[in-house]
Amino acid sequence: MTVRVLLADDQPLIRSGLRVLIADTAGLTVVGEAATGAEAVALADELRPEVVVMDLRMPVMDGIEATRRITAGGADASRVLVLTTFDDDDSVYGALRAGASGFLVKDMALEEILTAVRVVAAGEALIAPGVTRRLIAEFAARPAAAPAAAVRPLPATVTGREREVLTLVGRGLSNAEIAAELTISVATAKAHVARLFTKLGARDRVQLVITAYETGLVSTGA
């Protein structure tokens, strides 16, 4: 199956570079381009791409609001992959909270960009453990990311073991690392993560990381 991609960036040069890159890649195709967040929302609704590569800083409507609207459709909605400079973009956390499935860094290797698009399209976890840890470090640098007043309880259906697994996901551990930490099989670790997706209504691992912070299982000082 060919993965249909929508590019949303107000810089024509960025869109052009990504379009050429994707055009030369089997299994991926660009179905549309948007220069504003509003255009991205309209085109996502019209074209129904599997993945929207979304810049955060755009006119008319920013990438965060556009992401929120695009992902509001639930499981059938296009998945959003944020395009950001990351190190100096204070909106990354907001974009993930808005429903983005992960992020790309504009200066990352081209092959990594293509891999990220495929991973998101497949509904898999986008962020590899090492990158998750970098994301967590970014959260930790922002005291407002998880204020005490915002801590919310986990659903009662989440078991004690699943709380342990969620804590380790929040710390950036892979399924194999979780298995080693808890002395369980990798298959069991994957099963626990899958149940957490269902119980918490999370679309991917990024949202599990956010939940771990918002419920106080992982603190910014951890």
Neighbours of 127 (CB within 10 A): 22
CATH code at position 163: 1.10.10.10
120 shares a domain with 53: yes
Enter the pTM of the model.
0.70
* Rg of the chain taking only CA atoms, in angstroms: 17
Domain boundary (65, 92, 126) is at: 126
The answer as to whether 200 is a domain residue is yes
The answer to whether residue 161 scores a pLDDT higher than 90 is: yes
- Sequence letter at residue 25: T
Q: What tens digit of pLDDT does each residue of 13-51 get?
A: 989 989 999 988 899 999 999 999 999 999 999 999 999
Domain boundary (126, 159, 188) is at: 126
Distance CA 101, CA 71 (A): 10
Name the residue range of residue 112's domain. Answer: 3-126
The answer as to whether 134 is a domain residue is no
Strands 51-55 and 28-34: unpaired
Distance CA 32, CA 49 (A): 9
Distance CA 191, CA 126 (A): 18
CATH code at position 93: 3.40.50.2300
| pLDDT confidence of residue 114 | 86
Domain boundary (78, 95, 126) is at: 126
7 shares a domain with 117: yes
Q: What tens digit of pLDDT does each residue of 168-217 get?
A: 988 878 888 999 999 999 999 999 999 998 899 887 777 788 788 888 88
Q: How confident is the model at residue 97 (pLDDT cuts 50, 70, 90)?
A: confident
